[in-house]
Amino acid sequence: MKVAVVGATGLVGSKMLQVLEERNFPVTELIPVASEKSVGLKITFKGKEYTVVSADDAIAMKPAIALFSAGGSTSLALAPKFAEAGCRVIDNSSAWRMHSDIKLVVPEVNGGVLTKDDFIIANPNCSTIQMVMVLQPLHKKYGIKRVVVSTYQSVSGTGQKAVQEMMDERAGGDGFGVYPYRIDMNIIPQIDVFQDNGYTKEEMKMVLETCKIMGDDAIKVTATTVRVPVTGGHSESVNIEFHNDFEESDVREILSNMPGVIVVDNPAMKAYPMPLDAEGKDEVFVGRIRRDYSQPNTLNCWIVADNLRKGAATNAVQIAKYLHAQGWVE
């Protein structure tokens, strides 16, 4: 199977290559794609060296699947061209997520919405992915009325330059201006640009994507997204109001039985999820599970995941594996 990775030299693109290899995805020929300045570079995959090519050359090579992580404008321009050539595109940008005819997929949550006619498939926002992995089984049992989420998102979510900027600041430098303020020893309560309603674009992604993935526009979501000086791994404080009451023990059991979710919740042993624990792992970790006593039928929890893996690369590869398992790509 010919597989293209568009944005192969970037932070997420590199992680996609790693996950493809780890999960033994049946790649017979890798087609690494990047910007013109990177064309000609060499990439090693499964012990074999491949040359980075342009998008036009990649399309001519007729890949079966293309994993995109090259930004929204690139996806808008190139995804239809790959799709027209018979290639199934799994796009990690926000370009296609809210298009009414494009599926937005977390395989464990709503993989069943995919059909053989889907040639452009959207990978959700990293913070949304880890949250809906916890919300979906609880929604099925209790019915979710409202979600209040505050995120603590690592600098790797912004890219390689942001990671280097934080390290440069930590070493006494001035950084490179990736963020509007110093990030090391600081917290910035803004991710992406502000919208007319006072929310940032990142916050509105969480609001809109959650309802689309879970197939329920009646769920009310409000979000505050925050950048913190952590290299990798996103954390979220989530307050969930249900239509029906619950027992904490039942919640823990439901989440323990959700594929891809690991419950780490033992306050007596100081056991709770942290970004360092999630680093390099594909699961979503949840803890600090407790009733909100300020109002009925409401739960608090703490959700952590590796934003480059389940939040991006792993989810995309899982979608690809689903397509392959259905016999839609070969």
Residue of 126, 243, 301, 324 marked active site: 126
CB burial readout 208-239, b (16+ within 10 A) else e: bbbbbbbeeeebebebbbbbbbbebbbbbebb
Per the CB < 8 A criterion, the answer to whether 282 and 312 are in contact is: no
Report residue 161 as tokens: 């330059």
Q: Pseudo-torsion of CA 249, 252, 258, 260, nearest 10°?
A: -170
Strands (E), the chain: 2-6, 29-33, 42-45, 48-51, 65-68, 88-91, 103-104, 120-122, 144-153, 220-227, 234-242, 261-263, 284-291, 298-305
Measured distance CA(236)–CA(218) in Å, rounded: 22
If DSSP codes are grouped into helix, strand and coil, which group holds residue 141?
helix
Per the CB < 8 A criterion, the answer to whether 10 and 160 are in contact is: yes
Per the CB < 8 A criterion, the answer to whether 61 and 1 are in contact is: no
For 38, list phi and psi in degrees, rounded to 5: -100, -10
Catalytic annotation present for 87: no
Catalytic annotation present for 99: no
Cα 139 versus chain centre, distance: 20
Cα dihedral sign for 171, 177, 178, 180?
A: positive
If DSSP codes are grouped into helix, strand and coil, which group holds residue 187?
coil
Residue of 234, 243, 301, 324 marked active site: 234
For the annotated catalytic residues, the residue numbers are 126, 234
